[in-house]
Structure 1
Amino acid sequence: MSWLWAIIVGLVLGVIARAILPGKQAIPLWLTTVFGIIGGIIGNAVASGIGVDDTRGIDWIRHILQLAGAVAVVAFGTPLYDRMRGYKKRSPR
């Protein structure tokens, strides 16, 4: 059942990360979910590294780090996806 939660949390994190970033991210929903899952894993690793393993109540610091990880992965992953798909950055006229 944990894989199902990873997908749900990844979807939520990815969508929030896309909303935070300026501009339009032309990535599909499945890739948004994957980026959110990767960002959540990175945020969990950082939280464990700085000692935010077990807290009572809601783990706000862990959630903020997960969201920050998702924002970073979406920010770096979107241009890579665009390049792989052959999209070129349009120059302003």
Structure 2
Amino acid sequence: MGTGSIFSAILAGIVIGILGRLIIPGRQAIGWILTFVLGLVGAFLGGFLAKGLSIDRWWVVLIIQAVVAAILVAVVAGPWRARHHRSQA
């Protein structure tokens, strides 16, 4: 993996993670690093899913990646928030 690929993956992770957080209503109690990680995972899984469905339009792939990232944010933010509130009580 070259420098350009690594930079592209980092940029995609940030953008997809932010889009994923924006899709989910309300405040998520997760930090930016976790948002970035979930964005990277969402971008990878969403790209894999789009390829499996033979979708090749970049904007459709981006939407699929953002939706997958949003699902990941929703799945992680719920338990993360519950654990955070429990530790402060």
TM-score bracket relative to the smaller structure? 0.7 to 0.9
Structure 1 counterpart of 2:13, from 3, 10, 14: 10
Aligned-partner residue type, residue 32 of structure 2? L
| One-letter amino acid of the counterpart of residue 80, structure 2 | Y
Shift of 1:20: 1.8
The match for 2:61 is: 62
Unaligned runs of 5+ in 2: none
Q: Which moved more, 1:37-46 or 1:73-82?
A: 73-82
Aligned residues: 83
What is the aligned partner in structure 1 of residue 71 from structure 2? 72
Relative to the length of structure 2, the TM-score reads 0.81
Q: Taking every aligned residue pair, what percent have the same amino acid on both sides? A: 34
| Secondary structure class of the residue paired with 2:85 | coil
Quick one: which amino acid aligns to residue 87 of structure 1?
A: H
Query: In structure 2, what is the Cα distance between the partners aligned to 1:77 and 1:19?
Result: 15
Whose Rg is larger? 1
* Structure 1 residue 81, shift from structure 2 partner: 2.6
Give the corresponding residue for 1:34. Answer: 37
Instruction: Report the TM-score, using the length of structure 1 for normalisation.
Output: 0.78
**2:81 alignment partner in structure 1:** 82
CA RMSD of aligned residues (A): 1.6
Kindly state the Cα deviation for residue 13 of structure 1 after the two structures are TM-superposed: 1.1
Report SS of the residue matched to 1:43.
helix
Deviation at 1:26, TM superposition (A): 1.0
**Residues 36-78 of structure 1 deviation map (CA, whole Å, 9 limit, x = unaligned):** 01111111111111112xx4xx512111111111111111111
